[in-house]
Amino acid sequence: MTARLSPSWVPVDPSRGPGLAYASRQFHHAAQLATALGISYLPAAADDSHTNLGWDADLEGLASRAVTGGELAGEGESGAASRHRPRIRVA
């Protein structure tokens, strides 16, 4: 059985794989940095969702969960109103 691709997805020629390894590593490292804030400052969720990246249509990129200034200061959700949200722009 062959998987059906979304109309916006295009198959990649397998012979290009070795050439994509560097870009894949760079993206992996960027994702580690973007999720570090949530891993460090958000309360742990049973499903690990505090560590995830999600697509943000407004940013046209992947973004971590928002962390408030209060969480950074150890005050929890009721802290300062400033919000920090690391993101990765996919161009």
pLDDT at residue 57 in the model = 84
- Decide: pTM greater than 0.85: no
Q: What is the pLDDT of residue 47?
A: 93
- Calpha distance 45→31 (Å, rounded): 19
CA separation for the pair 17, 68 (Å, rounded)? 39
Distance of alpha carbon 58 from alpha carbon 69, whole angstroms:
22
Which pLDDT belongs to residue 55?
Answer: 86
Spatial CB neighbours of 88, under 8 Å, sequence gap ≥ 6: 27, 30, 31, 34, 53, 61, 62, 63
12: which residues sit within 8 A by CB, 6+ positions away?
20
Domain ranges of the chain: 22-89
Low-confidence ranges of the chain (pLDDT < 70): 1-7, 69-91
